[in-house]
Homo-oligomer: A and B are copies of this chain.
Amino acid sequence: MGTGEPVRRTVWLDSADPESVRVIDQCLLPFEYAEVSIRTAEGMAAAIRDMVVRGAGCIGASAGYGMYLAALEARYMSGADGAAHLERAGAALEASRPTAVNLSWAVQRQLGELAGITAGDERVTRAREIAESIADEDVASCAAIGQYGLGLIEEIYARTSRPVNVMTHCNAGWLAFVSHGTATAPMYAAHDAGIPVHVWVSETRPRNQGARLTAWELGEHGVPHTLIVDNAAGHLMQHGKVDLIIVGSDRTTINGDVANKIGTYMKAVAAADNDIPFYAALPSSTFDPSSRDGLADIPIEERDPREVTNATAFHDGHQIEPRVAAPGTGAINYGFDVTPARLVAGIISERGICRASEESILSLYPEFVGGVISR
């Protein structure tokens, strides 16, 4: 495979049966690895809804493949019936997760490009091409992020001539995309380029995506890594054990405020206290050109307090969610926080690295000038 791309993707066409889509069942990870074949658009919508596939890039590509499965189902339908079937399948895919912009983007792209095609076979061929394009573009975007981020790691290695210690938080890894990931892409690129990297993986309570997913995928790819509790990040920074921090982002304002998994801000502020560069890696679709104030503008999801009072764990061959907190104690569960641009050394995007400032972001993304999204 290409630079840093893992041995498999999160979603792909089955080479033995190209009318079937294969995905990694992410519900079972990291305690069990299994692939699932999906053969209907409805099945793909269910897989997205049940989080068999998850992560912005991954579910976007999955929805693209779901529309290909819908085109297969519509192959022998009349023109009008076929078009209606595609519309219904697209609506079901879009509704499978409430807030994921990537779902809608992939479905609408398929519907738009298939609109003028009435021949069933031609529609299948075209839907397949589009689905493959959506996946390949995700891979290319993450690969570019990896190459730009690689430069940061190379520079540290050239200066220190010892393994480069990179810290990350949560999972902005290939499991959340089609391949490479965003925050992880530079780590894979460096590892594949023969630069010794070691990754500090913070467990990322409450849902432990670091301990479960990032640790698993780094292990699968052979990248040296060590798990820590979120609390230990600052201590490592104080003692010179962290050279670079790279996280993902769920939304980044046009001035460079970075919304990401809860706990990201504390890592950024500790990094600043220890003069450690803190970067966010993200595709351009993550930018929100309509906001210049992340702390004021970005709504922070409050999730089920049970994620805080309980843990997801593996016991006697099963995943369980046992209680870890004192009985009767109430909890609050914020999903994300916002790291102000002043704490962000730079943003690694598929077009290069820019500073976390409106001027620098707009120099790479002139289409965001004026706060209007013109993608």
User: Residues on A close to B: CB < 8 A?
Assistant: 29-31, 201, 203-206, 208, 211-213, 215-216, 219, 225-235, 238-239, 261-263, 265-267, 269-270, 273, 295, 300, 305, 308-315, 320, 322-334, 337-338
* Given A201-B329, A219-B329, 14 additional A-B pairs, CB 8 A: A30-B327, A208-B324, A212-B325, A225-B329, A227-B330, A227-B332, A228-B332, A230-B231, A231-B262, A234-B269, A311-B313, A311-B322, A313-B324, A315-B322
A313 / chain B contacts, CB cutoff of 8 Å: 310-311, 313, 322-324
Q: How far is the CB of A301 from chain B (nearest CB, A)?
A: 12
* Total copies of the chain: 2
Partner of A266, one of B203, B225, B233, B338: B233
A322-B313, A322-B314, A323-B313 known; A231+B266 contact, CB < 8 A:
yes
How far is it, in angstroms, between the C-alpha of A326 and the C-alpha of B239 when the chains are bound?
26
**What's the least CB distance linking A336 to chain B, in Å?**
8
Min C-beta distance of A21 to chain B, whole Å: 25
Find out whether the CB atom of B211 lies under 8 angstroms from the CB atom of A329: yes
> Are A238 and B322 touching (Cβ within 8 A)?
no
Q: Please state if A325 and B238 are interface contacts (CB–CB under 8 Å).
A: no
Contacting pair B332 A226 (CB below 8 A): yes
B residues near A315, Cβ cutoff 8 Å: 315, 320, 322-323
Please, how many angstroms separate the alpha-carbon atoms of A266 and B233 in the complex? 8
CB <8 Å contact, A205 and B206: no
Contact A300 B227 (CB under 8 A): no
Contact partner, A238, options B331, B333, B337, Cβ 8 Å: B337
Across the interface, name the chain B residue whose C-beta is closest to A328: B219
Residues of chain B contacted by A324 (CB below 8 angstroms): 203, 208, 211-212, 311-314
| CB-CB nearest in chain B for A31 | B327
Q: What are 7 sample pairs from A and B whose C-beta atoms fall under 8 A apart?
A: A206-B231, A229-B333, A232-B332, A311-B324, A313-B313, A313-B323, A315-B323
Whole-angstrom CA separation of A229 from B228 in the bound complex: 15
Pick from B235, B314, B320: contact of A265, CB under 8 Å: B235
- B30 and A229 form a contact (CB under 8 A): no
Known: A226-B330, A311-B311. A325 touches B235 (CB 8 A): no
- Which residue of B226, B305, B327 is within 8 Å of A331 (Cβ)? B226
* A354 vs B266: C-alpha distance when bound (angstroms): 27
